[in-house]
Amino acid sequence: MRYEVLDSLVHPATGLSLKVGKVDVEADGEIKEGTLVESSTNAVIPIRNFIPRFVESDSYNACFGMEWNLFRRTQFDRFNGTTISAKRFYAVTGWSPDELRGQRILEVGCGAGRFTQVMLDAGAEVWSFDYSSAVDACRANNGPHPKLNIFQADIYSLPFKADYFDKILCFGVLQYVPDPKPAFMGLMKFLRPEGKFAMDTYRIDKWPSRWASRQLWRPITKRIPQAVLFHMVKWYVPRWLPVDNGLDEARFFWRFAKYIRGIVPCFNYKGIHPLTEDQLREWAILDTFNVLAPQYEHTHSLDEVRSWFEEARLSEIQVEWGGNGIKGCGRKSASSNTPRSKRPGLHSAA
C-alpha cells in the first residue's frame, strides 16, 4: 500500500481517518506487511501482500478468489492477445480513453484485474477492491503501479471518503451479492456530484438457452465443495465442447440443439470471441464454474435496473441489453443528496 492512499480512506464503521499503525515490511516505498489503525476505537486493519484487508475472509465469494487465482491471465487482454476486455469496457461505459486520463475511478469487484488494466492503460487513477482473495491476482497482474490502489473490502461497508471518485465501475458484481439493490444504492455515496457510474448484471434468461442452463443445476452445484465442483467442471467441459460445437452441424440434432444446451451448462464462446481452441476451452471452464459455484446469483429485468438508477436520482440514464445481460450508465446529480440504503447486515468488516 502506498502511503499517500491514506488520504482517500476512512474506517468503514466509524467514518474516521486511518493512520499507519506499524510497518513490518516495506518494499519500493510501499507497505507490504503492516497495519492501519483507527485511533478512537483502536481498530486494526491488516496489510498483507501490499493490500489492506478490511474483511476477515472472502466468505460467500470464496469461489471467485479460487477461480481468479487459478485463471488470473485467462481473460486478460495483455496475456491472451485480444482486445475483448477493452472492447467490453468501452462498449458498456461509453467512456473514452481521453476521458479517463487523470480520473479517480473506483472499480467494484476487480477480480483478476482485466478491466483494471484497461483503465490504467488510459491513464486513470484506480482504486480497485474485491471481497475475495482475487485481489492478489489483480495485484500480480497489474502491480506495482503508481496509479493503482487495491483493497480487500465489503461492498456494503467500504473504507472510502464520500464524494471522492469521478467514476465508479461495477461489472459482473451485483448478480453475486446477497442483496443487489442496497449494494447499488450504497455505491452512490462515493461518487462525486456529476460523476459517472457504469455497471452490468445478469438479465432474466428464459429456458431453454445455453445461458439459462445453470438455473437447472445451481440448487445442487452451489452446495458442492468448490474444489470438488471445479474438478467436475474441468473434467466434463473439455469433453462436452466438441459435442456442443457439433450440434449445429448434426442433421438430426440441430433442431433440438437449444434444448440440449439448455440442459448441459457449458459457456462456449466459439463464434463469439476470437479465441484459439485452447483459449476457448479455458474460458469455458472458467465461466461455467463461475456461474455454478457462487452462493448467490440474481437476475433482473430492464425495468428493475432502471428503477435503481431513477431512485438514486441519476441523470443521463441509459439502461439496455448488453453482452453480459443488462448494462446501465448514469451521472450523479450536482446535489449529493442521494438516497442511502441500509446495509443488510449479512456479513461484517474486520
Q: Which residues of the chain have pLDDT under 50?
A: 338-350
Distances (CA, A) of 253 to 135, 207, 238, 257: 43, 18, 20, 6
CB 179 within 8 A of CB 344: yes
CB 202 within 8 A of CB 326: yes
CATH number of the domain located at residue range(s) 77-203+300-331 in this protein: 3.40.50.150
Q: What is the pLDDT of residue 337?
A: 57
Residue holding cell 466468505? 59
d(C-alpha 185, C-alpha 305), whole Å: 11
Q: What is the pLDDT of residue 251?
A: 67
Of all helices (H) and strands (E), which one includes residue 128? strand 125-130
The string of pLDDT tens digits covering residues 272-307 is 999 999 999 999 999 999 999 999 999 999 999 999
| pLDDT mean across residues, the chain | 93
Q: What is the pLDDT of residue 256?
A: 87
Where exactly are the structural domains of the chain? 1-52, 77-203+300-331, 214-292
Q: What is the pTM of this model?
A: 0.93
